[in-house]
Structure formats: C-alpha cells, structure tokens
Chain A
Amino acid sequence: MITLRIEVPYASFRKSYARAFAETYPLPTPATVYGMLLSLVGERFRARHQGVRLAFAFSGKYEDDRPRQSPFPKIAMTVRKLSRYKYGVPAKQSKLGNTLDYIETLCDLEFLCWVDSQSETNNPPNLETRITTALTQPESVTRYGVLSLGLSDDAVNDVRLVAGVNYGCWHWLRPHPAGSLELPIWVDHVGSAGTRWQRYDLETEPSQFPLEPSEQHWTLIMPPN
C-alpha cells in the first residue's frame, strides 16, 4: 500500500446524467482518480489494473493551516464554451461550433489517496509499483500530456508519495449503502449503461492520527461484467 498526497487548484467532475448545465460531483470520483493514476504511469488500457483498491481522505484545512468551512471543496459556477458534439446537438457542431454552457468547478482540492494493489488480477508490475517508479524515476516512464484530474485543462498541481500521515486535518470518504454521496467507480464513456456508482459519506469529524485506511474505507476498482 502506498499513500499519495494530491493537490489540484480546480477541477470539474461532470455528473453522469448532466448534459445541459455541467453540474459537478462534490468530490473527485474514484473512477476519475483511477484514470489520473493510469495517466501518471502512462497506461492507456483502462482495465490494466482492475482489482486495485483506493481509499480517500479530504483535507479540512487550507495550506496555511486555516480551517476550511467544510471538507467539501467550494463550487464555482462559470460560463464556458463546450463541444456540441459531446453534450449538445452533434449535427450543429460543424456549422455553429462550440456552444456556451454553465459549468460548475470545484476549487482548491487537496486529498490523500491510498493505493492497494494486493487484489489486482493482471500480471505485474502492479499499479503501486508503477506509481512509485513514476514519481521516483520519472525519466523511466513514457507518458504524454500534462497530468490532469478529469478535464484536460484541470491540471494537477502536485502528486507526491507520503509515508505515515501524522499531520493536518483529514476527513475519510467512507463507502456506505445509504450514504448521501453517489460517486461513479467505473464510467462507461459510450452510452452510460456500463457506468457503476457507489454511495459514500464524507465523515464530518476529522480522523485521528496516524491515518491509515481500515477495511471499510476501500473502494474496489472493477469494470462491470
């Protein structure tokens, strides 16, 4: 198991049923974080590391140690130009070009992500090993583009390995069958029949140190059958 600390200044995680008005999930989704980790290690095949388990904790303080109003990142709403091909009337894209739409954006994201490759089903090297290599010997990894979380303009500010979390103020994201958050754990980008969600709760009280995920905090990344 490895622990990553990830900082992203802004990002948008469009909800699965949102077309007009790009509303965002209130937190980075496990499916998107998994995609970002694949990009980090230069993997293009999405199911390559199926069976990996992820756990998350979100920061309750800003970088300068001021407490956040809530562990949920603040949401900004802006108007941007978006492709009609993807979310509007595709036939109008060539004639009219991109169209405006409201888009929600999460601001100032900072979270910890634990990666556990014990139950990965494919051959080694596993995701844990590849991430460690990518961060300690970046010259040995072949990848392309700026590392982003979600949309390609939502660049990641920092990904680093941390050992033993004994600082800060962190709130666990806990899978719960009746949780108030529904986040996709696998996204079907062609249609949505294969998209899979899971319900979560973000704990309101920060956790005690040392921070280590228990069995109840893990999310299994597995494509639908």
Chain B
Amino acid sequence: MGKRPTNYQLPNPLTYNLKNPNYTIYHRAALGGLAATIQAWQDKPGLAPQGIRAQVCEDAVEISWDSSLALQEVIQRLLKASFLLTENKLIDLPGQGIPPDRNDLRLAIHTGLCGTFLQHNKMRPGEKAPRALSVRDEGDENASIFTYKAVNAYAHQTAQGTGLLDAKLNGELPQTASIPQSIVPGAMSGATGLEGPPEDVLLLLYLMVGSAVFLLRPQTYRDKAQYCLVVPDVTNLKRFAVNLREIAAYGTNLMRFTNTYLGRVVGGAEEAALRFLIDLQAGDLTEEFERCVSGCLAIAMGKVAWDKNQVNRSQVVRVKGNYPEIGVFRAAAQHFSRARIVTSKEGASFAVPQSPLPELVAANLAAERHWCAHFIDLCKEQQDFTNLKFQKGGLAAMNKAIKDADDQTIVNVFHEAWRLTMGALGERARKDGLDFSRLIEVERERVRNAILRAKTADALASWFLRFCADATRGASLSAMRHDTNRIREFIFNRRNFERFQNLCLFALVSYSAEEAKNHTQGEPEA
C-alpha cells in the first residue's frame, strides 16, 4: 500500500446526520450504535471519555472536543470508552446496556461477534484454551456449561486495519481510511480495499454496537449457516438508543425474545430479524408512526463448500418492520422462543431451537409468501409429523393469530369436521370396546396421507368435501354453511392448491380439544 496523504481535518464539532444521502444502512445502524453508546455515557458519567462532549437528537449526533487534543487522541478516547472487556474477557459494549450480571446474554453476543466481525484470530488475540461459563435459563434449575474463547483485546479498541490510528501519522488523520472485514463482515479487500473518509470509517466501527448477532442453528435448510447479523435501518436515533438498551434491561413487563443466551439461538436469519425487530419495537406498539427502525437487513454467515478458512456471508434478506400476519410469527415465537439445550458426552452444551415453526413462518413472511407455505415439508416424514403433535399449544396460538379470512374459514371448517370425526370414533370405541387413542392415531395418519397424496387442486378439493361429508354423515357443517361461497371460491381456485394443502395439514396438527370445548362437550382429546 502506498503512503497515505495526511493532515485530514475532522470538523469540530463533528455532526453525523441520519439523513445524510451518502449513508447506507450500515452507516445508519452504526449511527444508532453510536447514539446508544453516548446514551450509556450519559447514564454512567464515569464511562464518558475525558475532554469530549457528545449529544444525541432524533436524527443527528454531535461530538465536540477540546481543541488542544490531537485528532488521533480524540479517536482513541472515544474507542476506549465504547469498546470494553469484562473481567471474564468477554466483549462488553456499553451501548447495548447489558447489566453486569447478565453473562448469559453477553456470552451469546461475544460468540456471535467472534464469528462475524472478529472472525480472524488477529482481530481478537486471546487465550488458546477455551473458558467455560455456566448459564442458567429462567425457570431452569440446572445450569448448563458453555465454552467460549476469551479475548485480550479486539480490533475495534484500536481501529485496527483502518489506518486511523497509524503511529506514523503523529496524531493526524489520513485523507482516507480503510474499511476492513472486522468493520463490515464479508467486506474482503480484493485488489483495492474498501475505503471511506475518516469520520465515516470511525462511525462504521459502531456498526457492531447497533447490530444484533444471533447464533444460527437451522433445521429446515442452509445447514452450514452459523451466525446471523441483523443490521437495523434506524429512523430515530434517540428512540433507537433507548429501545436497544431496554432489550437487556430489568424491570420491563414486556416479553422479550432476544434478552437471554437461548433467545439468541434461532433457526433462520429471518427469524432472528423479526425477533430483534419485535423486541426493538416492544415499547412502540401504540405509536405506529414513530418507530425507531423501518426494517432491517439479516445476513446469515457460515462455512461455504469452497472456502473452509472463513465464515462467509451466505444469505442476505431484507426484512420489513411489519407484515399482515406478523401475529402468527409472534405467537410461534412466544411458544417456541426458548431453545433447548443438548449436552454432549463430554459435558459440553449446545443449544438448538425448540421448533422449526418460527423459522418457517419468518422465512415465509420475509419472502412475501403465504405464512404457511412449505408447511408440508414439516409433515412429509412421519417422525417430523409426530413431533409437531407435541407442539399443539403453540400451533393453537398460531391458529388464533391468523388474520386472513380465507385461512380462518378453511381451518375452522377442517377443525369442525375433525371434531365430528373424532366424536364418531369415540362412539365406535365405546360401542366396540376399542382403544380410542389408537383409532384417532390411525385416522390422523390416513388423513395426512390423503392430503399429501393429492396432486391436483381438484383432487384435494374433492377429498376435502368428502372428508366434510363423511364427518357429518351427509349433513353440512355449520362453518361451511356460513361461508359457502368463500369456501367454494377458495378450494376450486387452482392457484390456491399449495396454500390449501398447507392449511389442511396445519389444521390437522393444530386442532386443540381446549378450543373444541367451546363447541361441544364430552369428546376426549386426541
């Protein structure tokens, strides 16, 4: 690399404006991280850098300093106050406001950061032997042991690789600074590395603070993805700074999805993004038009077949702030939010998501597909289908959260037909002295196979009508009577075939006897 020209004058005060047209989503997320860090300094004045004043408003951050300070000294002081380490040598970012005793959440973030921003050993020199940390989940009596790599220092503390704090510059700044992979994950250098003005590169260092990292354990696809980085598109700095720090704070009555170690273990990038967005917006639910983010970018990172050395970006998804069926995801996430812990023979613990349902629904919403698309993939194997039956509470909650009238109608008709079918089987079991559970099991399997084997819209529609007619022994279902036209139009529309098939399977596994009690009495739950 050639010698950099020096003597770049950083304006004092330095103002970062959220509406700067030259800012990308990375800059805006980094600005959110900087705003949250400044907020942390205001909450704990002991943390604030000496000789530097900073203030945050809704769309700008202003930093000023004593004119006697050299520019490199200003940057050093800013970084020293922003990027810390705990006694356990875990990465500590004051801007994220994680309380000192929340080592479980800090551990998840530390592991995620070491796998994404700081994936190269040179970016985070540390101990060779892994350390162990005991993590206890809420309501869990036994603690689980997780291992991590303790770090002695990390790139952001010294703006490593940017050239900003190059000792040869004698306190001055270069005309342009480099943007290494430790600042924007996946930004490999190539023949000519990425560069930017010094103030922009300084800002991008805070991308680590403004983003959320998750540990990916995909069940449905992309087995190689290991981490997910969620980059929010910040629209209101002040509110974002407060909400980001609220996620890990105590004393909030709102349910949070991402404030524990297990909450940071997810099945897919889209699920991670939606969880983070819901948590960020938890306090804003009544203020629809004043949200602090307009959406986010979810970046899945993992090993690819052609590069065994580093963790590459393998998927980038843009996720919006809201979707018509977000309630279905919220219900799924609420019931399946806690990952389960698997312990190996050596005693090491691994967390895996409790269910593939939040991952599936989130992926569908982000891709603008029907929320239930590809549900059939979870029902094709008998073992997977059996597993779904144990998730009835969550499935029933998802069912209640459906907003689409067509979906509601189909599921309700199916449930009513299934309830009557079970009633008939119960009668037969009592009369012939048969095992009711076994009868239900056989019937459910028969229905599953019939739905899976229907290859055309017509075949599925005629099976559905026969199933309803058999259940009522020729009479019509009350749900069918109310919405005859809607049902007819839906099931005979060939474009709805896959959606109809997925909804039937969803209805089959989501039937809950609790709900059925509202309609009938005395029928045992399957």
Contact = CB atoms under 8 A, between A and B. Distances in A.
Interface of A: 16-21, 23, 26, 69-70, 84-90, 99-102, 104, 177-178, 180, 182, 189-193, 196-199
Interface in B313-330: 313-316, 318
Given A17-B184, A20-B312, A191-B176, A177 B190 contact: no
Q: A-B pairs with the 10 shortest C-beta distances?
A: A191-B195, A21-B313, A19-B188, A193-B195, A100-B306, A193-B176, A20-B186, A20-B312, A23-B316, A90-B191
Nearest to B193: A191
A87 B184 CA distance: 14
Interface of B: 19, 21-26, 176, 179, 181, 184, 186-197, 233, 235, 294-295, 304-307, 312-316, 318, 368
Contacts of B23: 182, 197
B72 to A, nearest CB: 19
A190 B316 CA distance: 25
Nearest to B312: A20
Nearest to B201: A193
B188 A182 contact: no
A193 B8 CA distance: 14
Contact of A182 (B25, B192, B304): B25
14 contacts: A16-B194, A17-B187, A18-B186, A20-B188, A21-B186, A70-B368, A88-B190, A89-B189, A100-B305, A100-B306, A180-B233, A191-B192, A191-B194, A199-B21
Nearest to A93: B191
B267 to A, nearest CB: 20
Contacts of B189: 19, 89-90
B19 A178 contact: yes
Nearest to B175: A193
A198 B306 contact: no
Contacts of B312: 20-21, 101
A17 B191 contact: no
A74 B187 CA distance: 25
A88 B192 CA distance: 10
Contacts of A21: 186, 312-316
B254 to A, nearest CB: 27
Given A102-B314, A177-B21, A19 B195 contact: no
B190 A193 contact: no
Contact of A192 (B195, B233, B295, B316): B195
Contact of A19 (B186, B233, B314): B186
Contacts of B191: 85-86, 90
B25 to A, nearest CB: 7
Nearest to A199: B21
Contacts of A90: 189-191
Contacts of B184: 17
Contacts of A104: 316
B5 to A, nearest CB: 12
A102 B305 CA distance: 11
Nearest to A23: B316
Nearest to A100: B306
Contacts of A86: 190-191
A222 to B, nearest CB: 13
B223 to A, nearest CB: 15
Contacts of A88: 188, 190
